[in-house]
Chains A and B, each alone.
Chain A
């Protein structure tokens, strides 16, 4: 088995290449060579656009004449609903605020959901447009930090990162998350409870990043949001760094994120990936104005080319073994044939975990951290 090469989990350097894929049919608003700031709108996307909710009270919906059906296109300013006034006089029209289409008419929630045809996408980092991919996206070169997370959901978003907080206890949520988080990226130090996701959605936070989340909590949050809004998908972008469960975010991640608090960070959940597991979500941000672009503890690239013999001793790895998922360590010794307790023969290597615990792991169950290029 040739183990997978993950790349460095955290890169902080100058000249980072970043692709901003806006989806097919996207309108690109920047040019090659143009300098961009985190707030620069690089284009408008026709997929993953935001949903505009029209709040109506019960009587209004009942009395209104709905002029559109689900699935129909609407243009900005086009009448969407018409409410007849007394004796048919003084009709009130609700006009559509955006170009898009009627996605759903939610009677119980007394709302009409309109999905915009376009949504603006910001750069999220300060850098330079190195390539424009017509109707698709742009490639940016920027100085800053890129952090690889393990799983994510939702469209790419950019927003101000709020200070880290503990969001695992439902009793703390109301105190920690409030209306000031609208459009922001909320950062949880460890795991998330369902109430935190629901509350972040309610205040319309742009994103939520955490060390982990339990599958059941995520299911509970999704069910709650669906019940409240009729939406099947999470209305925000959620990224976890360590995996499913209750693990806290690693200290290295926390250290780097601390430096980005109060600044714009870019979250890419990598949902567009052809195969969900072949691409990891990323967070990117630029250094504060005046700070050094590069520096900090950059891991030395691993010399690859070990395909035939496996990773040499001293290679940093992350375990994806089901019992040790997300743990990191360093290989000790050379890979060798090993009999698992199930009787299956595999090639395995000894790994010393970060806490000093030695374990023998099949090569298939680890990923090599580091390395710039495969031969």
Chain B
């Protein structure tokens, strides 16, 4: 990695997460050489280190002291700190009917600014108060009215009004029909200042989101500037940004790098140009998808997983960000409620050992009370991997590609050639095979795509650091190229062992061509060396589709990853045998196929 780094000799990446606060230190030369071969020096503590005070600043001070970073910034290192904390700014969008075009555009702009958003539908009086209870329950930065929702504003204020997240107070914005903001302003009664934005629809024929997006972006920066936690990090010489914004920027940078990657070497890579990034943290699972258009973000919150009860899920349960309205229609809330909530059985189906629902439920519920614990044995590790798979599935299925991005039409996964996974769940796994197993099962890629891992979560930090070279991605681990048929449905009640799914031919330079068959229900690995290119031909039988169309052979160039080339014929969604013993045997078999015992040593 070349640098515009000047005389600095090290980089310090800090992350104030919802569960853990981390400081990682790396010599700059480790990033400048081709490949990150040394693990960063890391100091970690639960974000709220000292429970009686519940103060995140204490945790930050402790890790900084442990890292020897003192009270003031140093000229010796580049310092970047990213803050999660529930999305920032945290906004409630209050509309009339919910998710009209104006609201969708505003929500998209908010999410690009790193915000988490809750939508209030004023025209739904039956649930209005329940919606407002949620709005009051969580401290806010911004109320954004997209219409003259007087009654909602009155009710919100009558119930005590929303809480401001920071001492700087709360701001309300109005972006609705011109000249109709008076009723909202009167309802807010001067207790919350109202700023009237230029209307997004100056007339019925056109939409002009630019001024609104600029205003929201400026507001997000203003909130971050005023945040006392951010100020504390700045006092230690850190460049501070929100994790969400940096994560989205990292997705766009990585996507650009990936597009360049596909055109290097002897023969272009044939995987699609789209890129999807997933960060699976202790509290939130973030994703960003970059097709031909700008990145689209989605988030799910572990608190929202209705594991315990509606009562236990907590008022913050519906706080989430999600992509804009999908082609199939329906709004964010519906999209989320249509998916099956996290369940004990859902997590248990991924466990390759016997469990009782009572015991598993209690263990999961205890884990959710202390989400920073480290899995101390294989059973615990497999349990958290099962939870991770379910969380990835829920996040992925909540995502709706931007309607304006034609490259991701239909099933957006067909346009994705690179998946990048990161976050605490992946970083704490003992080896690349476990990471790949969780990624494949949770992401369920289709066609031909590569799965990469950012084990130390460096990409968002580098994207947020203007002084570092953001072009090279040498710190990423290419786990494998995965080949999976699109729309394969498996029924385990019928034996498929005699059926052939496809014939595969792998041509490599200096090595005899190899041909073999893949069968439904299998997970197979071909030992293509890391970085080695091969010409791959997949001849599907019947009407199976590997990306070239039903029944048509797929031909292209692929590159081997740390775990080579993986053929996943287990169906989409992954079909798990209904019989418990057979399912467990299959899960163990698939883990063994990927080489679950491998460590990260030399994985880069």
Asked if A222 contacts B49 (CB within 8 A), the reply is no
**A364→B371 CA distance, assembly (Å):** 10
Asked if A24 contacts B51 (CB within 8 A), the reply is no
Q: Say yes or no for A343: interface residue by CB 8 A criterion.
A: yes
| The one of A70, A233, A274, A277 that contacts B370, using a Cβ cutoff of 8 Å | A277
Asked if B158 contacts A276 (CB within 8 A), the reply is no
Q: Contacts A24-B160, A216-B361, A344-B430; is A1 near B45 (CB within 8 Å)? A: yes
Q: Contacts A244-B362, A308-B66, A364-B372; is A101 near B155 (CB within 8 Å)? A: yes
Contact with B along A137-149 (1 / 0, CB 8 A): 0000000000000
Asked if A153 contacts B312 (CB within 8 A), the reply is yes
Asked if B54 contacts A322 (CB within 8 A), the reply is no
Q: Say yes or no for A203: interface residue by CB 8 A criterion.
A: no
**Which residues of chain B come closer than 8 Å to A361, judged between CB atoms?**
376
Which residue of B46, B283, B358, B370 has the most chain A CB atoms within 10 A of its CB atom? B370
Q: Say yes or no for B205: interface residue by CB 8 A criterion.
A: no
Contact with B along A257-288 (1 / 0, CB 8 A): 00000000000000111111111100000000
Q: Say yes or no for B369: interface residue by CB 8 A criterion.
A: yes
Q: Contacts A24-B161, A234-B311, A278-B54; is A215 near B430 (CB within 8 Å)? A: no
Contact with A along B398-437 (1 / 0, CB 8 A): 0000000000000000000000000000001011000000
Asked if A46 contacts B160 (CB within 8 A), the reply is yes
Which of B111-119, B122-130, B249-257, B477-485 touches A? B122-130
Asked if B374 contacts A214 (CB within 8 A), the reply is no
**A245→B362 CA distance, assembly (Å):** 5
Asked if A342 contacts B160 (CB within 8 A), the reply is no
Chain B's closest residue to A273 (CB) is B54
Contact with B along A25-51 (1 / 0, CB 8 A): 110000000000000000001110000
Return A339 CB to nearest CB of chain B, in Å. Answer: 10
Q: Say yes or no for B163: interface residue by CB 8 A criterion.
A: yes
| The one of A2, A70, A277 that contacts B368, using a Cβ cutoff of 8 Å | A277
Which of A3-11, A55-63, A167-175, A328-336 touches B? A3-11
Return A276 CB to nearest CB of chain B, in Å. Answer: 6
Asked if B136 contacts A71 (CB within 8 A), the reply is no
Q: Say yes or no for B544: interface residue by CB 8 A criterion.
A: no
Which residue of A232, A245, A308, A364 has the most chain B CB atoms within 10 A of its CB atom? A364
Q: Say yes or no for A204: interface residue by CB 8 A criterion.
A: no
Asked if A218 contacts B309 (CB within 8 A), the reply is yes
Asked if B309 contacts A234 (CB within 8 A), the reply is yes
Asked if B129 contacts A103 (CB within 8 A), the reply is yes
Asked if B357 contacts A346 (CB within 8 A), the reply is no
Asked if A70 contacts B52 (CB within 8 A), the reply is no
Q: Say yes or no for A320: interface residue by CB 8 A criterion.
A: yes
Q: Say yes or no for A73: interface residue by CB 8 A criterion.
A: yes
Asked if B361 contacts A244 (CB within 8 A), the reply is yes
Q: Say yes or no for B10: interface residue by CB 8 A criterion.
A: no
Q: Say yes or no for B473: interface residue by CB 8 A criterion.
A: no
**A115→B159 CA distance, assembly (Å):** 11
Asked if A342 contacts B159 (CB within 8 A), the reply is no
Which of B92-100, B377-385, B553-561 touches A? B377-385
Which of B57-65, B461-469, B517-525, B587-595 touches A? B57-65
Q: Contacts A274-B86, A342-B375; is A2 near B361 (CB within 8 Å)? A: no
Asked if B376 contacts A362 (CB within 8 A), the reply is yes
**A341→B381 CA distance, assembly (Å):** 10
Q: Say yes or no for B364: interface residue by CB 8 A criterion.
A: yes
**Which residues of chain B come closer than 8 Å to A273, judged between CB atoms?**
54
Return B368 CB to nearest CB of chain A, in Å. Answer: 7
Which residues of B52-91 have CB atoms within 8 Å of chain A's CB atoms?
A: 52, 54, 58-59, 62-63, 65-66, 86
Which residue of A24, A244, A271 has the most chain B CB atoms within 10 A of its CB atom? A244
Contact with B along A269-312 (1 / 0, CB 8 A): 00111111111100000000000000000000000000110000
Return B149 CB to nearest CB of chain A, in Å. Answer: 13
| The one of A150, A226, A274, A321 that contacts B139, using a Cβ cutoff of 8 Å | A274
Per DSSP, chain A at the interface is: loop
Contact with A along B26-65 (1 / 0, CB 8 A): 0000000000000000011111111110100011001101
Asked if A374 contacts B377 (CB within 8 A), the reply is no
Q: Say yes or no for A72: interface residue by CB 8 A criterion.
A: yes
Asked if A344 contacts B46 (CB within 8 A), the reply is no
Chain A's closest residue to B51 (CB) is A6
Q: Say yes or no for A94: interface residue by CB 8 A criterion.
A: no
Chain A's closest residue to B431 (CB) is A343
Return A273 CB to nearest CB of chain B, in Å. Answer: 7
**Which residues of chain B come closer than 8 Å to A253, judged between CB atoms?**
none
Chain B's closest residue to A348 (CB) is B376
| The one of A46, A244, A365 that contacts B373, using a Cβ cutoff of 8 Å | A365
Asked if A46 contacts B159 (CB within 8 A), the reply is yes
**A144→B361 CA distance, assembly (Å):** 36
Q: Say yes or no for A65: interface residue by CB 8 A criterion.
A: no
Asked if A219 contacts B309 (CB within 8 A), the reply is yes
Asked if A70 contacts B309 (CB within 8 A), the reply is no
| The one of A277, A279, A362 that contacts B371, using a Cβ cutoff of 8 Å | A277
Which residues of B349-369 have CB atoms within 8 Å of chain A's CB atoms?
A: 357-358, 361-369
Return A145 CB to nearest CB of chain B, in Å. Answer: 15
We find that the number of chain A residues with CB closer than 8 angstroms to chain B is 71
**Which residues of chain A come closer than 8 Å to B346, judged between CB atoms?**
none
Return B53 CB to nearest CB of chain A, in Å. Answer: 8
Asked if A323 contacts B377 (CB within 8 A), the reply is yes
**A51→B52 CA distance, assembly (Å):** 32
**A350→B392 CA distance, assembly (Å):** 35
Which residue of A6, A222, A279, A343 has the most chain B CB atoms within 10 A of its CB atom? A343
Q: Say yes or no for B541: interface residue by CB 8 A criterion.
A: no
Q: Say yes or no for A211: interface residue by CB 8 A criterion.
A: no
Contact with A along B296-334 (1 / 0, CB 8 A): 000000010001111110111000000000000000000
| The one of B86, B129, B377 that contacts A342, using a Cβ cutoff of 8 Å | B377
**Which residues of chain A come closer than 8 Å to B370, judged between CB atoms?**
277, 320, 325
Return A26 CB to nearest CB of chain B, in Å. Answer: 7
Asked if A2 contacts B366 (CB within 8 A), the reply is no
Q: Contacts A4-B45, A117-B158; is A322 near B310 (CB within 8 Å)? A: no
Q: Say yes or no for B348: interface residue by CB 8 A criterion.
A: no
**Which residues of chain A come closer than 8 Å to B46, judged between CB atoms?**
4
Asked if A5 contacts B161 (CB within 8 A), the reply is no
Chain A's closest residue to B164 (CB) is A24
Asked if A362 contacts B374 (CB within 8 A), the reply is yes
Contact with B along A362-375 (1 / 0, CB 8 A): 10110100000010
Asked if A322 contacts B376 (CB within 8 A), the reply is yes
Which residue of A26, A103, A367 has the most chain B CB atoms within 10 A of its CB atom? A103
**A233→B59 CA distance, assembly (Å):** 33
Asked if B155 contacts A342 (CB within 8 A), the reply is no
Which residues of A48-102 have CB atoms within 8 Å of chain B's CB atoms?
A: 69-73, 101
Q: Contacts A323-B380, A374-B58; is A214 near B369 (CB within 8 Å)? A: no
Q: Say yes or no for A183: interface residue by CB 8 A criterion.
A: no
Q: Say yes or no for B335: interface residue by CB 8 A criterion.
A: no
**Which residues of chain A come closer than 8 Å to B86, judged between CB atoms?**
274
Asked if B51 contacts A342 (CB within 8 A), the reply is no
**A325→B44 CA distance, assembly (Å):** 21
**A279→B311 CA distance, assembly (Å):** 17
Return A229 CB to nearest CB of chain B, in Å. Answer: 12
Asked if B365 contacts A215 (CB within 8 A), the reply is yes
Asked if A47 contacts B49 (CB within 8 A), the reply is no
**A14→B212 CA distance, assembly (Å):** 55
Q: 27 A–B contact pairs at CB < 8 A? A: A5-B49, A23-B136, A24-B162, A25-B157, A26-B160, A103-B129, A103-B130, A104-B126, A117-B159, A153-B312, A215-B361, A219-B361, A222-B311, A226-B310, A244-B362, A244-B365, A245-B366, A275-B283, A277-B369, A278-B48, A279-B54, A340-B376, A340-B377, A342-B378, A342-B381, A344-B428, A361-B376
8 additional A-B residue pairs with CB within 8 Å, beyond A4-B48, A46-B160, A154-B311? A25-B157, A103-B130, A219-B308, A275-B283, A323-B377, A342-B381, A364-B372, A364-B374
Q: Nearest 9 pairs between A and B by C-beta?
A: A25-B160, A71-B125, A46-B160, A215-B361, A2-B45, A278-B48, A222-B309, A232-B310, A244-B365
